[in-house]
Amino acid sequence: MIIKSLTLTNFRNYDLLDLSNIDKKRILFIGDNAQGKTNILEAIYILSFGNSYRKGKESDLIKFGHNECALFCELDTVLSTKKISLLIRKNSQKSIKIDGNVIKKTSDLVGNLKIVFFNVEDLNLIKGAPSDRRAFIDKVLSQIHEGYYYQLQVYNKLLQQKNITLKSLKDLSNKDHSLLDILDEEIAEISSKIYFNRISFINEILEFINNFHSKISGLDEKVDIKYEFSIPNLDFRNNLKEQILKYIENNRFKEIMRGQSLYGPHRDDITFYINSNDAKIFSSQGQQRTLVLALKLSEIKYINKKTKQLPILLLDDVMAELDNNRQNNLLELIGNDTQTFITTTHLEDFSKDWLNDTLILKVSNGNVCLN
């Protein structure tokens, strides 16, 4: 898929950004620090997921001194064109529309504009927090699997309710577990669905990762991924829901004492192995970067395999963090078909040939023009 045009009004440091005719395969934003490069990629991310990956309130997205901001893009997919718009207002619900039709649930937005987002923080994915690794899986699955995003939303709501209930039971004189029984039942049901999706994702993406990894490293190393369940000894050949429910119920006292839900998809992790060694412990900085590049490229491949569409790749400042070899490998392996938006502060990291085929736009203090 391709973004043909992007319009931002009162978004971050932009009064009006009107990018039409960007139906090119490579668009590079160049500019000094704090000029608005990342803000453009963030806007595309929001048009994809309905909210930002950056911390802060939704109203922070609105340009200082204004009451609302608007984001709009026109999309060319293999099958059709789509217009996605988002209006964010202070003190009121945001409104999302696709082709003029109001979208009530964010789960109906996600998956329309498919993206793979890659920024400097992702380079930490292997050794960073487990929540980052879970988010990596969830972001991909939400975009390809109708219903996965919804499952996650339901799961998170149930968890919130359960945590409140567990806290109320900490006072042991309160012996009414009936609400907890209902919540655990529902949580077990939805957990089993999330697990099936996550495990098949890992099984399927591994081949792509190994392929890219050996191309980038030039070595014959084997990558493995292990999904670390917070609930031990689950057997996928038998009724998963029953096993999950049994484990949670057997550990109810622990959860009540801690006042929070301790087992399930929100507490799991994934471990990466290179030649059977835990990459968190043994891999060098360079090895981790190679692995993350392989992961990101595999995301593109996986989304393409599942949906027959190529997602849009957003690369925020990552080139500067890579050595020459990995820079070249990355650009080469992305190929010429995936529409790629890249931000950078300087052009030295890109070859002349590559730049020749690229729309280069200069970003300066909330204004964008041809370089």
Residues that bind ligand ATP (CB under 6 A): 12-13, 31, 33-39, 60, 62-64, 317, 343, 345
- Cα–Cα distance measured from residue 207 to residue 321, given in angstroms and rounded to the nearest whole number: 26
Q: In the complex, which residue's CB is closest to Mg ion? A: 38
* Degrees, nearest 5: CA angle 28-30-32: 160
C-beta of 124 vs 275, nearer to ligand ATP = 124
C-beta of 29 vs 195, nearer to Mg ion = 29
**Phi and psi at residue 72, in whole multiples of 5°?**
-145, 140
> Where are the alpha helices (H) located in 26-120, listed in sequence order?
37-49, 106-109
H-helix or E-strand spanning residue 158: helix 148-169
- Cα–Cα distance measured from residue 278 to residue 283, given in angstroms and rounded to the nearest whole number: 8
Residue 34 interacts with which of ligand ATP, Mg ion, none, CB < 5 to 8 Å by class: ligand ATP
Residue 64 interacts with which of Mg ion, ligand ATP, none, CB < 5 to 8 Å by class: ligand ATP
Residue 12 interacts with which of Mg ion, ligand ATP, none, CB < 5 to 8 Å by class: ligand ATP
Q: 306: which 2 tokens?
A: 């599942």
C-beta of 38 vs 197, nearer to Mg ion = 38
- Cα–Cα distance measured from residue 234 to residue 199, given in angstroms and rounded to the nearest whole number: 12
Write each residue from 251 to 290 as x if it is in contact with Mg ion (CB under 5 A), else as -, in one continuous string.
----------------------------------------
The footprint of Mg ion on residues 32-71 (CB under 5 A) is 37-38
H-helix or E-strand spanning residue 116: strand 115-119
- Cα–Cα distance measured from residue 109 to residue 101, given in angstroms and rounded to the nearest whole number: 11
Residue 345 interacts with which of ligand ATP, Mg ion, none, CB < 5 to 8 Å by class: ligand ATP
CB of 140 to ligand ATP, least distance (A): 24
The footprint of Mg ion (CB under 5 A) covers 37-38
